[in-house]
Structure 1
């Protein structure tokens, strides 16, 4: 049968040029695509041979060969798999010329940005044509298993391709790339270089089931030709049983995927079977990377499909708060784009994410129950990032609360869970009290803690920036409200105590004039002035209203570029403190209250300093303090 020449349509030519010049950012992946196609052909032959006893094929040495010819500048990828018939070559390799191309290009032109364009490209499975990124011409010779004649396909990617029948083709498929000159534009590597081919195969195809062999060049002057060298390990650790793999092998894989020189803290295996099958091998690092909280942190798992690496950092497989988890997921069937680099958002991806998330959290829970020391080390490194899930992943909030632990006033050495806190709550206590700040020491020394310390009421000490956010999102635990000791009004022992209530009413009457006057004098800085039930030692403190943002949260939002108005806070006075008693007496006795204005300003500044803030005008505050100290020395 003579050679036939077929012409690509205009739209197909445009799409082919787009494939050659635009889709792949890394040209090395052409070899990954060809090896992957060869692996699929071997899988299909093995399956057909099992299903059809009449298929006369030899499956004893199924393999992939890569042959280099530096002199001719050719690279050939050959397999002895299922092969293709003449019609299949026209239909499968000619997919690019399908009638839907025109509509595809129309949508592509209407895409608003590059990401949209890549998403559309992802609907078109033409990875075979990635060879034109590095080749001027591609030739394919194939023969389907069980057929006598083969087929040769050839194209320079310029608008036409040829098809012809051949009689001497071996079973399987051989794709030969006539490589562009080594110094051609965008040709960054010489793909006839043995070391380069080894590097690509090791990176992308190491876990392919079938051996990938590099065929050596024949020796000259009667020298013996070396044996082919197998380039891939074919060791998919995640597909082997636990008994077949040593901890050292797991640790080596972790170091390979994470670039961490230390062993992982925990190894997690998962195998999903049924209508959608995949295996996962995940690792919890022993130490948090230094850039864990930066925008440039590269997160995600390595994604394989049938042991072919598709993506190094697949973010879609785990939520952001598990970004420290490293590992591998190997799926049997996924919707991929043309370059295998961007997954389409389908239900399989969402299914994997849900399952992996639950598996990681359940593993942490088991660690917490069975190995407290290991859990403590894990939470110290990753607790802050894990708590992001408390407001970002409501579906797994209960699981996260079950593994979360927090410092508290109950113990200096041991953290507590919310469940343990609830079990220790005093009779009549309805709320879980907490305080946020920069350090445990600053929180314990805060005036807001005085009444709680005096009455032995436990307070959670939350020192991570994320704590400012999740407590509001969670709101309550087992019906007990999460309540900040630095917000709203706090009554620890007045309700139900008639004597205490009577004393409180008496104090309110005695200080009513001073409180109203201070509110007027400090109107620019505070929204209210009132007597405090949380102070036992300090003269004053500032608190936020029950539903207002805290200063730390305001600063956090501003750091993220959001405009947040400054919220006035409430000044609380300790009626039992000598300074406040003297101030009230002076207010009642003196008609000229000029000096008292400065005292009020100083009192407010001291309260702001006590919680780690700074006065509105630090220089003026220092001046007033210095003047008062000077007067006290005379």
Structure 2
């Protein structure tokens, strides 16, 4: 069969990324072989599963394997598998498009890592980024100046040849007689020939890499005898494609790591297995190896990464668990095994009693899956809770990377809410350097304090300078400073902790001066209410388009005014979030509170008492509201008008 060779250009970002991969990653070049073997293993998993699901698929699964074929004379290394293979469209989608999501972010991160590491260790941090963007295949260009891929998908008659030198273009060609599966041939760079350490045609070098990085791969990884210049196959006539010399040596033990006793497994083996399944070059932060026996048996090997993936909060982000049944791969990205707020956990779960034909859509209704789900959640949460008490440094790393997503569980997982609250940490006014938990907050509460006070907003600095904080700071009352978007929601869902209610200092009435049986305090409030009654009524009418009420405040000490919500109102931030999600939310008017001891407020009361028809008074009221809105970080409805009115009032006062 003859066909036309077609040449395509990578997109601009992909070309830039290719150059960075080729020229910016200097250490740990062995990563390329680990990634190619991992891809081949996935292809074998998928073929085994497809053959079980589709009885009409005509494939031979009697000897599924991965072959490594070095050729010192031609300076090539071929990684070959007889797995599921790829169609032409899949080659274009999976190989022809580099890092379909996050390419620009990868480029930026890789540049930053290169600059930071260039003067230190030659780019180890750059290598750590590969797995996060799905570009493991392209790590081949660290050691090769040309890569040739030949593949045929199981069940199809036509194969595809893909080739690129990593300089911005690739070629595609349809092939006829191609064995099922995929072969990737690396034409190794000549610069490596003098350095035996980096010579990937050396059999001892290949053995070392496979045994160190891929010993646990469940399929045999075989090293064929070195080729010495026999004609190179193009895949058009079959030739040596797919041939397996009898003397091939199996390099890996093929032991499923999760099925072995933890006492038999070294930390390095755990770490290498994690890197295999996660495509992350960093070691995991925590390893959880567990098994359940009895009426329902399963084994699980789970990992908490040391850093968050870049798609953690992206819609449709993948879950990190793969499901096996009796060591047969069923599916990755298994959402039914852990809740969404633990989607960052990586690992495998191997069940003994599930059907091999279990479908993704039926998993959530399966009683055994539900049982595993509950047990795995408790295992992960108990580990995170123990980390908090036993290893503060590791806990801080975990919380910095995953705290924001863990707090989603406070909303969705009421069964485990108490444990989650023990795991959570929050900024507070108690200590600017250290976060606190709710138990610590409660232990420091004042003798007559009834609530756990909190304030939500965009940043700690903005919250600390909020007018709502003034009276609390003056009285030494601790306030939780909550700056994650999810904080706007979970505080309403949780409501209380160990019988102590959570109360926003920006909502409802707050009277920090009130004490039981304090008649003098009641008299002072009554007197002020009478003194300001006319002004409050007039301001409520004048600002009726913006606020529902104007009232006296006991939460202010230095600012003239602040804006608060009613007890049952949603916050402005939450209102914006709902609208951003396309939900219709009626506009909520809030409450303007005045500081009766501030000179501006007392002067406004006196001016209104002298001449309530003074045309300057409405503008002053407008400015007072605008200043309160700005002080809490809100947006003015008409910034240009506010600036003009402010300039006029300033000029009139000079």
Report the TM-score when normalising by structure 1.
0.68
Shift of 1:254: 1.1
Shift of 1:300: 3.2
1:324 paired with 2:340, answer no
Report the CA distance shift for 1:227/1:343 in structure 2 as closer, same or farther (over 3 A): farther
Match of 2:571 among 550, 567, 583: 550
Report the CA distance shift for 1:134/1:340 in structure 2 as closer, same or farther (over 3 A): farther
Match in the other structure for 1:105:
none
Rounded Cα–Cα distance in structure 2 between residues aligned with 1:374 and 1:212: 36
Does the Cα contact within 8 Å between 1:65 and 1:215 map onto a contact in 2? no
Match in the other structure for 1:172:
none
Shift of 1:397: 0.4
Match in the other structure for 2:86:
none
Does the Cα contact within 8 Å between 2:537 and 2:550 map onto a contact in 1? yes
More displaced, 485-494 or 290-299?
290-299
Shift of 1:616: 1.4
Match in the other structure for 2:450:
430
Report the CA distance shift for 1:621/1:304 in structure 2 as closer, same or farther (over 3 A): same
Match in the other structure for 1:310:
330
Match in the other structure for 1:613:
634
* Partner SS for 1:315: coil
Rounded Cα–Cα distance in structure 1 between residues aligned with 2:322 and 2:476: 50
1:449 paired with 2:469, answer yes
More displaced, 397-406 or 249-258?
249-258
Match in the other structure for 1:32:
48
Report the CA distance shift for 1:463/1:591 in structure 2 as closer, same or farther (over 3 A): closer
Report the CA distance shift for 1:194/1:287 in structure 2 as closer, same or farther (over 3 A): closer
Shift of 1:632: 2.9
1:524 paired with 2:522, answer no
Match in the other structure for 1:371:
391
Rounded Cα–Cα distance in structure 2 between residues aligned with 1:436 and 1:371: 29
Shift of 1:180: 3.8
Rounded Cα–Cα distance in structure 2 between residues aligned with 1:538 and 1:344: 54
Match of 2:283 among 244, 255, 263: 263
Count of residue correspondences:
471
Match of 1:239 among 246, 259, 263: 259
Shift of 1:344: 6.4
1:463 paired with 2:479, answer no
Match in the other structure for 1:508:
529
Gapped runs of 5+ residues in structure 1? Answer: 1-25, 38-62, 69-74, 78-131, 136-178
- Render the CA deviation track for 1:450-480: whole Å, top value 9, x for unaligned: 1101111111000000000000000111111
Report the CA distance shift for 1:307/1:196 in structure 2 as closer, same or farther (over 3 A): farther
Rounded Cα–Cα distance in structure 2 between residues aligned with 1:225 and 1:614: 73
Rounded Cα–Cα distance in structure 2 between residues aligned with 1:323 and 1:235: 27
Match in the other structure for 2:234:
none
Match in the other structure for 2:435:
415
Does the Cα contact within 8 Å between 2:364 and 2:370 map onto a contact in 1? no
Rounded Cα–Cα distance in structure 2 between residues aligned with 1:487 and 1:559: 23
Match in the other structure for 1:580:
601
Rounded Cα–Cα distance in structure 2 between residues aligned with 1:32 and 1:610: 62
Does the Cα contact within 8 Å between 1:27 and 1:133 map onto a contact in 2? no
Shift of 1:66: 5.2
Report the CA distance shift for 1:32/1:187 in structure 2 as closer, same or farther (over 3 A): farther
Shift of 1:248: 1.4
- Render the CA deviation track for 1:505-542: whole Å, top value 9, x for unaligned: 11111000000000000001000000001001100000
Rounded Cα–Cα distance in structure 2 between residues aligned with 1:189 and 1:302: 34
1:597 paired with 2:607, answer no
- Render the CA deviation track for 1:362-385: whole Å, top value 9, x for unaligned: 001110010011111111111110
CA RMSD in angstroms, aligned pairs only = 3.5
1:537 paired with 2:558, answer yes
Match in the other structure for 2:514:
494
Match in the other structure for 1:71:
none
Report the CA distance shift for 1:524/1:76 in structure 2 as closer, same or farther (over 3 A): closer
Report the CA distance shift for 1:500/1:67 in structure 2 as closer, same or farther (over 3 A): closer
Report the CA distance shift for 1:459/1:316 in structure 2 as closer, same or farther (over 3 A): same
Match in the other structure for 2:142:
none
Rounded Cα–Cα distance in structure 2 between residues aligned with 1:387 and 1:431: 21
Rounded Cα–Cα distance in structure 2 between residues aligned with 1:209 and 1:297: 27
Shift of 1:593: 2.5
- Render the CA deviation track for 1:382-426: whole Å, top value 9, x for unaligned: 111000000111111011011111111111111111111111111
* Partner SS for 1:461: strand
- Render the CA deviation track for 1:591-625: whole Å, top value 9, x for unaligned: 42211010000000000000001221111000011
Match in the other structure for 2:590:
569
Rounded Cα–Cα distance in structure 1 between residues aligned with 2:263 and 2:43: 39
Does the Cα contact within 8 Å between 1:431 and 1:483 map onto a contact in 2? yes
1:191 paired with 2:212, answer no
Shift of 1:242: 2.0
Rounded Cα–Cα distance in structure 2 between residues aligned with 1:559 and 1:488: 26
1:65 paired with 2:63, answer yes
Does the Cα contact within 8 Å between 2:424 and 2:437 map onto a contact in 1? yes
Pairs within 5 Å for 1:108-119: none
- Render the CA deviation track for 1:174-201: whole Å, top value 9, x for unaligned: xxxxx8454799999943568479xxxx
Match in the other structure for 2:4:
none
Report the TM-score when normalising by structure 2.
0.66
Report the CA distance shift for 1:613/1:188 in structure 2 as closer, same or farther (over 3 A): farther
Match of 1:295 among 306, 310, 315: 315
* Partner SS for 2:649: helix
Gapped runs of 5+ residues in structure 2? Answer: 1-41, 54-60, 67-80, 84-151, 162-172, 186-209, 231-243
Match in the other structure for 1:473:
493
* Partner SS for 2:365: coil
1:249 paired with 2:269, answer yes
Does the Cα contact within 8 Å between 2:513 and 2:554 map onto a contact in 1? no
Pairs within 5 Å for 1:153-192: 180=157, 182=159, 190-192=178-180
